Structure 1
Amino acid sequence: MILVRRYAIALAGVMTMAAAAQQGTWVVKPEWVHAHEDYLASDAMHGRGSATHDEEITATYVASEFESYGLKFAPGMTGYIQRGEVIAPELDGKATVKAGNTVLSEGSDFDLLMSSTANVSGPLVRVDAAQVKGAKFERGSVVLLTGADGPDQVFDGLSALRRAGAAAILVVETPGTTQVYGMMGRKTRTPIRLAESEMRRGGSNVAIVHAAAAKTLEAVGAGSVVSLNVTVLPVKEPRYTYNAIGYLPGSDPKAGTILLSAHLDHLGIGRPVNGDAIYNGANDDAAGTTAVMELAHALGAGKQLKRSVLFICYGAEEAGELGSQYFGMHPVVPLKDLVTDLEFEMVGNQDPKMPKGVLLLTGWERSNLGPTLAQHGALLGADPYPEQHFFERSDNYQLALKGIVAHTAAGWGTVPTYHQPNDDLAHLDFAFMTAAIQSLVEPVRWLADSDFKPAWVSGGQPKP
């Protein structure tokens, strides 16, 4: 009898939610938002590392939520998860830098940011960060980059030196560069790729050299041969990335499909910071994943819409947007039928540069999507960080390059917890996050039930 009563109460609750959705009064409850984050950003998920079993578990959780909201399998799929094989070389963490009789060791003397997984060597060249754009040296040189004052100067220097033909770049550590390794998750980036993608030639070899070790290198004569040596571990078993995909079929097959997306992975487990080695990714991007799930919750409970809606939470974004690449190569609906893509990234905190309660939309000025959704009540505004190129740094860009109007809605663009272990539940603004998601329910419902088709403004569409 108790079970029957509980079932009746639950059924009544579902009927009440469905009626609310029908009347356009759907309310996103903060406890729903909190519950998703409690699971996705828990230490038990080990930071949801890209192309790992933890990523698979995360995709399975999202898929189960999609199923509970009444979403269907996407066309051609027999489940809610799309899996793609990846090639991901791993190193033994014992790289060395050798210059004559001088040998520097990874960990104690330097941190290896990026590796092509090949051993490289070349004549030593010193370049100051202030003169990096005009630097001239023999291709294949090993460059000792001095005077970098922060992450922006480091990444600008790396870009210029790679273009100039540096075989390896050794960045001398300064107080301003210490956070660069943290931004990489305190792990070496290797050329991970989809198994069906072509292997790229070359690659980057970059290390942050600790101050004491840098003095040893600075004493080495210019032109002396310096080598960077690594060891690649044997491949034990195939690795995969996982996209969770749900689908709401529309009433008009010719009206096209709206895509709502986020990425479900983060950095996994890395070197500890203040004793914490789990990069929980509560904001990046459990928050965006939560937004997609709660929009699926709202739209799934309502009446059938004119357009179909596709909900995707991609895997392996942090490893180079591999999940969205895989979807682009294996779309479940023809890409020409995608009306638009709205990506959600790091919506868990209010940006101090934005009006209260408002999310930034990357590439706002590139199309009429953001202004139109804002006119219908979405709390969206222009990105105040054009110099950061956020439009090109999320999964939306893969589709934008194919001509689809695709943008990312985000919270604080430069949040201090970015790629740090303290990106956890304690640092989320749940009230802001819940209100932001709530503001998008009816505008997205309107978009999926209308004839409005977002369009690029003149010159706004990015080119491959």
Structure 2
Amino acid sequence: MRLTLALIAVLATGARAADAPPQIPVQTLKDVTQTLSSDAFEGRAPTSAAEPKVIAYMTQRFKAAGLQPGNHGKWTQDVPMVRVTADPAMVAHFSGGNAPVDLAYKTDIALFSYREVPQTTIANSDVVFVGYGIVAPEKGWNDYAGIDVRGKTVVILVNDPDWKTPTVGACGVEPAPQVQASSGGRCDPTRFNGRAMTYYGRWTYKYEEAARQGAAAAIIVHDTEPAAYGWGVVVSSYTGSQIHLAAANKSMRETQANGWMTQDAAKRLFAASGKDLSALALAAEKPGFKAVPLGLKMNLNFANKLEYSMSHNIVGILPGTTKPGEYVLYSAHWDHLGRCTPVKGDDICNGALDNASGSAGLVALAEVAAKAPRTPRSQVFLSVTAEESGLLGSRFYAEHPIYPLGKTVGGVNMDGLNVMGLTKDVSVVGPGKSDLDDYVARYAALQGRRITPESNPERGGYYRSDHFSFAKLGVPMLDAGAGEDLVDGGTAKGHALNEDYNVNRYHKPQDEYDPNWNWDGAVQDLQFYYGIGHELATTDAWPNWKAGDEFRAIRDKSRADAK
């Protein structure tokens, strides 16, 4: 029955019947996952002694699959990186209020610099509260309107202005029933998707916007619920050594310092200025909010240790037949954490599921695509570095594309395959954003699976994996995969298995290859990915972002430039 439905869909989209869901090579999935996650690869940290082993292995697998070198005759793309280690003795000193406030590193603040400079010095910088720090013309929202923050320190709230709203009612997203009832079914273009975070809510966006505004420093007020993680995660992730992309301009367009402060620190700071944080935060939720100078000045001084290195993306291609200058992208990251905190004497974070399995899926899809008749459009297979360090490899490719983004149709990213078993559902992260929703609905239906939304939309999951580097610059990329409703065991079992992984194995040495894994779900998802990718590579369609989406304008511009 599924084969019949698949054939109907293939014919309906103009592809050939021979392009029905393929046989996914399960042995490839097992072999690649087991090899990359073995102790011999030492956790696959970028620029470590293990990186050449990864490059050699993935290149060999791509070549054996039938791909051609994807970077003008080369298999790799250089990704220059710099490790910046800030002096932990730093103290942020605030004066000018009713009492001075000193914020200590790790206890009160977590600050770092994107700039490649040996010393960070900020003197007498005026402090301004800019609400959520958002400039969204398509929503008529500008938290920086009417104020010049050049050289100043901006204090910013985490997430979006309407993160407390439990429903979704933004344009381009189907409103929940209660929103439909209260609004007559009309979307509200000033909303930010309610509980579902937009990119404007991500900390990365807030730093970027502060830099565009010319701020000297950008400090986000941490709040566990809208951030979706506690202060301990901030300390472990944003203190100590930070890996960034090295830049020819030494990243001098960035702010001098970025970081976080605790809620308690922010309350002390606002109290010293005679302001109430809670009242201002409430005001910042409403359209038309105006930034508030706090009447304080910040002084900050700390040294930076700089260490330069080179990592690599790995690129293969299957050239298209009649439209080789149009590209469909499959991606997965090869890196993991390397050596980490020991558990029972084991200090290698093997990263079997995250993301040796995704790398295996990339190789398996390459093998399948190479054996099939060539598609009109080219298919690019991209194995990227430094995802765990902040999506650096994918970001570098997107900012320095081998193939123009304006001519990249769309694609699929794989970050961990389903080894729990077949599911009855497909979980979509960031639904309602692009035309790829139609592809998801079609291919999920062919497999007899329903679509379920992500379980924690406030975490901004769409903006936390490699597909986002491309989405941010306009290319529609899919973030979808197995849901939790297992054919064998239902949602209760699926949720329990996911929670067990998240608690006991995620980013820990226990994320190791298990020969008893059930690969049926991985095969199911890879057939789903292949169907979507193959249709993109076969038809004339150019998926776009929905009207009002934060990435629509840049896609329209890149497509216009490409034409």
Structure 2 length-normalised TM: 0.58
Contact 1:359–1:436 (Cα < 8 Å) also in 2:
no
CA contact (8 A) 1:74 1:246 kept: yes
Letter in 2 for 1:399: F
Match of 1:180 in 2: 233
Selected match of 1:240 from 310, 334, 338: 310
Aligned equivalent of 2:351, options 281, 300, 308: 281
Asked whether the 8 Å contact 2:439–2:532 carries over to 1, the reply is no
Residues 34-70 of structure 1 show CA distances to partners (whole Å, capped at 9, x for unaligned) of 3222232334434333455544532332221101111
Partners of 2:529 and 2:221 in 1: CA distance? 47
- Partner residue of 2:519? 431
Q: Which secondary structure state, in structure 1, belongs to the residue aligned with residue 409 of structure 2? A: strand
Residue in structure 2 matching 1:34, options 30, 34, 48: 30
Query: Relative to 1, partners in 2 of residues 1:305 and 1:172: Cα closer, same or farther, differing over 3 Å?
Result: closer
CA contact (8 A) 2:426 2:481 kept: no
Q: Distance in 2 between matches of 1:123 and 1:315?
A: 37
Deviation at 1:110, TM superposition (A): 7.2
CA shift, 1:388, in A, is 3.3
CA distance in 2, matches of 1:401, 1:143: 24
SS in 2 for 1:27: coil
Letter in 1 for 2:38: S
Residue 192 to residue 70, structure 1, CA distance change in 2 (3 Å): closer
TM-superposed CA distance for 1:298, in Å, is 1.6
Aligned to 1:202, the other structure's residue is in SS state: coil
- In structure 2, relative to structure 1, the CA distance for the partners of 1:306 and 1:377 (3 Å cut) is farther
Assess, with a 3 A threshold, how the Cα gap between structure 1 residues 291 and 174 changes in structure 2: closer, same or farther: closer
**Aligned-residue RMSD, C-alpha:** 5.4
Q: Counterpart amino acid of 2:463? A: E
Per the alignment, residue 90 of structure 2 pairs with 96
Match of 1:450 in 2: 538
Q: Which amino acid aligns with 2:528?
A: L
Equivalent AA in structure 1 for residue 434 of structure 2 = R
Does the CA contact (< 8 Å) of 1:361 and 1:382 recur in 2? Answer: no
Q: Deviations over 1:146-170 (max 9, x none)?
A: xxxxxx9xx9797889969794759
**Matches for 1:407-426 after TM superposition, within 5 Å:** 407-410=478-481, 416=502, 420-422=507-509, 424-425=511-512
Secondary structure of 2:379's aligned partner: strand
**Contact 2:336–2:351 under 8 Å retained in 1:** yes
In structure 2, the CA distance between the partners of 1:451 and 1:406, relative to structure 1 (3 Å rule), is same
Which residue identity does 2:304 align to in structure 1?
V
Contact 2:326 2:377 in 1 (8 A): yes
Match of 2:255 in 1: 202
Matched residue SS, 1:83: strand
CA displacement 1:302-343 (0-9 Å, x = unmatched): 333343211111223333433233323443334444232111
Report the counterpart of residue 319 of structure 2 in structure 1: 249
Cα separation, partners in 2 of 1:433 and 1:376, compared to 1, 3 Å: closer
Per the alignment, in what secondary structure is the counterpart of residue 381 of structure 2? strand
Q: Which stretch shows the higher mean deviation, 110-119 or 96-105? A: 96-105
C-alpha change, 1:187 and 1:34, in structure 2 (3 Å) is farther
Q: Distance in 2 between matches of 1:277 and 1:142?
A: 39
Name the CA distance, whole Å, in 1 between partners of 2:429 and 2:224: 34
Task: Answer yes or no: is 1:261 the counterpart of 2:331.
Answer: yes
Residues 171 and 430 from structure 1, CA distance in 2 versus in 1: closer, same or farther, beyond 3 angstroms? farther
Q: Distance in 1 between matches of 2:220 and 2:405?
A: 42
Count of residue pairs brought into register by the alignment = 429
When structure 1 is superposed on structure 2, of 357-366 and 408-417 the one drifting more is: 408-417
Distance 2:103 2:533 in 1: 58
CA contact (8 A) 1:122 1:167 kept: no
Give unpaired runs (5+ residues) of structure 2: 1-16, 95-99, 132-142, 158-196, 274-294, 485-497, 555-563
How do residues 104-143 of structure 1 correspond to structure 2 at under 5 angstroms? 112=110, 114-116=112-114, 118-120=120-122
Question: How big is each residue's C-alpha offset from its partner over 1:383-429, in whole Å with a ceiling of 9 and x where there is no partner?
Answer: 42443333333333343344433222345799625963256126996
Does the CA contact (< 8 Å) of 1:114 and 1:190 recur in 2? no
The yes-or-no answer on 1:59 pairing with 2:147 is: no
Q: Secondary structure at the match of 1:201?
A: coil
Aligned to 1:400: 471
> Any conservation in 2 of the 1:279–1:419 contact (CA below 8 Å)?
no
Equivalents in 2 of 1:98, 1:402: separation in Å?
34
Superposition deviation, residue 344 in structure 1: 1.6
Equivalent-residue separation in structure 2 for 1:270 and 1:371 (angstroms): 40
1:370 aligns with 2:440: yes
CA apart distance, 1:456: 2.5
Q: Does residue 78 of structure 2 align to residue 83 of structure 1?
A: yes
Per-residue deviation, 1:196: 6.9
AA of the residue aligned to 1:326: F
Partners of 1:196 and 1:380 lie apart in 2 by 48
Residue 203 of structure 1, CA deviation? 4.5
Change (3 A) 1:334 1:453: same
- Residue 375 of structure 2 aligns with an amino acid whose one-letter code is L
Cα separation, 2, equivalents of 1:346 and 1:306: 29
Whole-Å separation in 2 of the counterparts to 1:450 and 1:156: 36
Would you say the 8 A contact 1:348–1:411 is kept in 2? Answer: yes
Q: Does 1:391 pair with 2:481?
A: no
Deviation, 1:221, is 7.9
Match of 1:360 in 2: 428
Aligned-residue offset at 1:245: 0.9
Q: Which of 68, 73, 76 matches 1:72?
A: 68
Cα separation, 1, equivalents of 2:537 and 2:153: 58
- Decide whether the 8 Å contact of 2:44 with 2:334 is kept in 1: yes
Matches within 5 A, 1:129-168: 167=217
Cα deviations by residue, 1:160-196 (Å, 9 ceiling, x for unpaired): 8996979475979999725423772875436544447
Pair 1:49 & 2:45 matched: yes
Match of 2:382 in 1: 312
Q: d(CA) in 2 for partners of 1:210 and 1:269?
A: 32
Percent of residue pairs identical:
22
Report the Cα distance in structure 2 between the residues aligned to 1:307 and 1:208, rounded to whole angstroms.
Answer: 48
Relative distance call for 1:180 and 1:30 in structure 2 (3 A) is: same
Looking at structure 2, the residues matched to 255 and 227 of structure 1 have their Cα atoms a distance apart, in angstroms, of 52
Tell me, yes or no, if the aligned pair for 1:258 and 1:308 is still in contact at 8 Å. yes
Letter in 2 for 1:40: L
Which one-letter code corresponds to 2:78 in the other structure?
Answer: R
Pairwise CA distance, 1:277 = 4.9
Contact 2:111 2:257 in 1 (8 A): no
Contact 1:111 1:209 in 2 (8 A): yes
CA distance in 2, matches of 1:313, 1:198: 25
Structure 1 distance, partners of 2:460, 2:92, is: 37
Contact 1:112 1:206 (8 Å CA) reproduced: yes
1:387 partner letter:
E
1:350 touches 1:357 (CA, 8 Å); kept in 2? no
Cα 1:26–1:372 shift into 2, 3 Å? closer
Separation in structure 1 between the aligned mates of residue 259 and residue 434 of structure 2, nearest angstrom: 34
Aligned partner of residue 443 in structure 1, secondary structure: helix
Q: Secondary structure at the match of 1:241?
A: strand
SS of corresponding position for 1:290: helix
Counterpart of 1:390, as a letter, is: G
Q: Distance in 2 between matches of 1:392 and 1:458?
A: 17
